[in-house]
Structure 1
Amino acid sequence: MLHMYRVLNDQSIPDDAGVAIEYKIPYTSKRVDFLLSGHDGDVDSVVIVELKQWSEVEKVEGKEAIVKTALNRGIHEVAHPSYQAWSYAALIEDYNENVQEQLIKLKPCAYLHNYRKLQNYPLTDSYYDYYLSLAPVYAKGDVENLRTFIKKYIKYGDNKDILYQIEQGRIRPSKSLQDSLGSMLKGNQEFVMIDEQKVIFETALQLAKRAIKTGTEQVMIVEGGPGTGKSVLAINSLVALTNKSMTCQYVTKNSAPRNVYSTKLKGDFRKTRIVTHLRNLEVTQNLNLMN
């Protein structure tokens, strides 16, 4: 927090702006590092700052919004900080009724206070332009630039009122898989994947492409308890691979999901198309059980 104290030590940033640390995102175990609330004279705003202690970052080719960095005594693939900050903002917008109805604007960014900019700066490589446009990233020496970003949206304080509204906002039911599957098959993004989900999703796409290119089978096993996002990951993978003209199947030993998906999808697709597909899934499942 010392680094954020230095950033906020500016007379142009109102003293009565709201500050929150480690806000827990509903329905997840994730916490937003730093939030600053206020308004620009017209719009209520909250600046979201994802803080990173990283000192080195490597670009990862072939995976969207993924980088490598040193974590837990090793080099690991993780979500790009801009993607991470943006995904946190998107989840809050999706789940918080007050944010939606009061038109509170969430402005995400990332601050890597230990990361020095180099000539070849992988963190802001053009490969990541899309998410950088959604959530800019700042490094060591960027204090003034980060201040400018904050002051653009927080010109007047709110005495924490906006943060209180977010904290007290009614949590709307999360988007259900069955209600969103049809929309996803039409190409709409319905579920925002965060952190590990995003890394695993990109790895799954990479393995599928490798299998087609090399003609060799690829297997990935994802483990996790209830509520960790396995179904969201599976549906995202199904849609993404189908949209890449790959043959995909969603197989489950439980008939309930098939029946629910069939009912929901019949409103958007021909009945014979859906029922035939689901029958294929059931046959595949039965063969797998016999084997």
Structure 2
Amino acid sequence: MYLYGDTVAEAARRVSDEAFLGAMERRFTTMFGLAPSAEEVRSWCRSWPALVDILRSAGLDALHLLLEYSLPATGERVDAVLLGRDAEGRLCAVVIELKQWTYAYLSPLRPGMVRINERVVPHPARQVGGYVHYLQQWVNRDEFPLTVRGTVVLHDAPRDLIAALRAPVEHGPANAYPVLGRDDLTPQPSPKALARRIGCAELGPAGRDDIERFLQVEHRPSPALLARAGKVIEGREAFVLIGDQDLARQEVLHTVTAARERGNKSIVVVTGGPGTGKTVIACRLLGDLCQQPDGNPRLLSPSGTLTRQLRRTVGENSRGLIATFLDKIPAGITDTSVVLLDEAHRARTYPDHQRDAFPLTLGNLLKRAAVTVLFLDERQIVRPTEGVTLQQLRQHAQASGLSFAHIDLISQFRCNGSPAYQQWVDDLFHPEGPASVWEGSDYDLAVADDPEQLEQWVAEHIRGGRTARMTAGFCWPWDSPPTPPLLAEVEIPWQSPAGPRVWARPWNSRADEPAFDHPDVPARPFWATDTGGHDQVGCIYTAQGMEYAYNAVIMGGDLVRRGEQWIARPEESRDSQLRGLPPHRYLRYALNTYRVLATRGTQGTRFYSTDATTQDWLQAVIRPHAR
């Protein structure tokens, strides 16, 4: 998809026209499902005419220009792409990243990132390099010969800014992509010299057929990309399977092979509680599928945090192969694809209802792929706008004529491999009935007497070189700005022997990238793994899918124990999607939330409740000798 496409000469006649810009806004809304921001439209107004003037000054009127070109498998958009034929007669795409920067802040601590006002963004040479890499790896050059280049055009940038931006990349792979500023974008000493700087010196016009083939070509991972990704996954210790995990992997592979041989589309559901290895199995399966002939696999997750963590682990080769699944199906998935959907219990079902008998986007995904493997734990559904069950999937398969298989994971590898703790937690967060007393000795479980003791326990493990984190129910305000310093909004008054005290700590950062001036405050996706995360309190949305050695859980006033039942108090929640629910509906999500938080620790967990009655009850069911 693209917003506009025609020759540079034709674009020059239109890009400054107010009616043209209005038409582009409407087209954007139709194509992407939401209106462009006012900032984005202002950017078009400033950059499109500037770019066209530069290209015309370079004598490139006959090249084909695409504006806002979408990279199908990633959800990202390229500012501009120039298409022409190179000296050998092949189609060449020149990817252009446009910026209006006149200043930027760079830090030696973050050489790959740049701060513009309050935003932290990738260095533009790295950004354009990622686009080039994608087109090189996702367009089959055997079927469609294509060369790809990249250029950064900062049409307002002075010489000192350009020098600063060139310095961090001059010895790295991003050096292959020129960073051009105001002084570089004039036709001096000649238009041909300007064309050379942009990367278009020898390009001539491309034929209409070539341009149409480029626009219609199927985007799918190249065999070389799949082979590299498969080897990376196979070699990562993080993806080594143990016991039942490997048996489950083999069973899934057998089921996938059988479904392909039958030729009918299939659903495979892998169920298991926290710590049974669903994510590890999904990653290992992706590695297996990458190395199969004619593979076209994807690993999707509704969790952006999990997606970012997995991409970091697998590396750049995972670009497009590992993606976040929300309201749209990633492009390139065909009836040859095997899709692995991790955390399927978080798949979106739309606000409080399902538009069809089955979640619409998920149903379309199941219809498109050859085999869809869903990794599911129904008791991790924590919002009314998400979630699908084993029974729903079974019924959908039957109604849609899809084959269906179910694999249940039993062995538990988190929580010190303690089946006793996992069973105890499952029983603890049932809505009603007497809770069993914890008497296990194979997991470090206790109740903290106060929030300071909870924090000291976490700090002790951090000093010992172990990972430890604090989490809490969403029962406190969360108004901190995206960048540090963060506000200490998780505030708990408590009574010490010396008198009343108040304990307060910030929630985790809401930013997707670390702040330049506060490298000790991890970005949201990396709160659970990066240095400094123990100084903030995580919530369900940053902890779900993650694990760490030692786990401190603060239970807020939204879930309290009275007698032999849990009582939900949604009015205590600060989650706008939940606090308006009636108590009987809120109860399910609160129980699931705290069950998830209670199962993040591989070695030990400490509980603390801000409700005195619940705190006393927890101390009664977790016997002191087990501490």
Deviating more after overlay: 28-37 vs 55-64: 55-64
The aligned counterpart of 1:109 is 151
The one of 40, 56, 63 aligned to 1:17: 63
**In the alignment, residue 159 of structure 2 is paired with which amino acid?**
K
The structural deviation recorded for 1:37 is: 1.0
Map 1:159-174 onto structure 2 (within 5 A). Answer: 159-172=207-220
The one of 98, 107, 123 aligned to 2:165: 123
Higher helix share: 1
Alignment coverage as a number of residue pairs:
217
The structural deviation recorded for 1:21 is: 0.9
Task: With the length of structure 1 as denominator, give the TM-score of the two structures.
Answer: 0.60
**In the alignment, residue 18 of structure 1 is paired with which amino acid?**
H
1:60 aligns with 2:107: yes
1:157 aligns with 2:157: no
Distance 1:124 1:179 in 2: 30
**In the alignment, residue 6 of structure 1 is paired with which amino acid?**
D
CA change 1:185–1:116 in 2 (3 A) is farther
Partner of 1:234, secondary structure, is helix
- Check whether the contact 2:154–2:180 (CA below 8 A) recurs between aligned residues: yes
- Check whether the contact 2:83–2:94 (CA below 8 A) recurs between aligned residues: yes
The aligned counterpart of 2:309 is 234
Q: Which has the larger radius of gyration?
A: 2
Map 1:1-291 onto structure 2 (within 5 A). Answer: 1-10=48-57, 12-13=59-60, 15-42=61-88, 43-70=90-117, 75-97=118-140, 99=141, 101-118=143-160, 121-127=163-169, 129-143=171-185, 144=187, 146-150=194-198, 152=200, 154-172=202-220, 180=229, 182-184=231-233, 186=235, 226=301, 230-238=305-313, 280-281=413-414, 283=416, 288-289=598-599, 291=605
**In the alignment, residue 45 of structure 1 is paired with which amino acid?**
C
Deviating more after overlay: 82-91 vs 226-235: 226-235
Distance 2:144 2:219 in 1: 14
Question: What whole-Å deviation, never above 9, does each CA across 1:190-209 have from its counterpart, x for those lacking one?
Answer: xxxxxxxxxxxxxxxxxxxx
**In the alignment, residue 22 of structure 1 is paired with which amino acid?**
E
- Check whether the contact 2:73–2:219 (CA below 8 A) recurs between aligned residues: no
- Check whether the contact 1:47–1:153 (CA below 8 A) recurs between aligned residues: no
Distance 1:134 1:180 in 2: 23
Distance 1:64 1:11 in 2: 32
- Check whether the contact 2:82–2:95 (CA below 8 A) recurs between aligned residues: yes
Partner of 1:51, secondary structure, is strand
Distance 1:157 1:83 in 2: 28
**Gaps (5+ residues) in structure 1?**
188-224, 241-251, 258-277
The structural deviation recorded for 1:10 is: 3.9
CA change 1:239–1:31 in 2 (3 A) is closer
**Gaps (5+ residues) in structure 2?**
1-47, 188-192, 237-299, 316-341, 345-372, 376-410, 423-442, 444-597, 606-627
Question: What whole-Å deviation, never above 9, does each CA across 1:10-34 have from its counterpart, x for those lacking one?
Answer: 4743x43211111111023321111
- Check whether the contact 2:139–2:217 (CA below 8 A) recurs between aligned residues: yes
The structural deviation recorded for 1:114 is: 1.4
Distance 2:93 2:75 in 1: 21
Distance 2:416 2:68 in 1: 47
Question: What whole-Å deviation, never above 9, does each CA across 1:234-288 have from its counterpart, x for those lacking one?
Answer: 1243467xxxxxxxxxxx989977xxxxxxxxxxxxxxxxxxxx97557469575
Deviating more after overlay: 128-137 vs 46-55: 128-137
The structural deviation recorded for 1:9 is: 1.6
Question: What whole-Å deviation, never above 9, does each CA across 1:48-103 have from its counterpart, x for those lacking one?
Answer: 11101111112122334211112xxxx22210011111111222333333x55323
Task: With the length of structure 2 as denominator, give the TM-score of the two structures.
Answer: 0.30
Distance 1:284 1:61 in 2: 42
Distance 2:149 2:100 in 1: 21
- Check whether the contact 1:110–1:138 (CA below 8 A) recurs between aligned residues: yes
CA change 1:182–1:162 in 2 (3 A) is same
Partner of 1:19, secondary structure, is strand
The aligned counterpart of 1:269 is none
Distance 1:91 1:183 in 2: 18
Distance 2:231 2:77 in 1: 31
Partner of 2:50, secondary structure, is helix
**In the alignment, residue 95 of structure 1 is paired with which amino acid?**
W
Distance 2:199 2:169 in 1: 28
CA change 1:91–1:77 in 2 (3 A) is same
Partner of 1:3, secondary structure, is helix
The structural deviation recorded for 1:35 is: 1.1
The structural deviation recorded for 1:155 is: 2.6
**In the alignment, residue 117 of structure 1 is paired with which amino acid?**
R
Question: What whole-Å deviation, never above 9, does each CA across 1:150-191 have from its counterpart, x for those lacking one?
Answer: 46454311144443222110122699999935425648xxxx
- Check whether the contact 2:149–2:199 (CA below 8 A) recurs between aligned residues: no
CA change 1:133–1:159 in 2 (3 A) is same
The structural deviation recorded for 1:123 is: 0.7
CA change 1:59–1:132 in 2 (3 A) is same
**In the alignment, residue 122 of structure 1 is paired with which amino acid?**
A
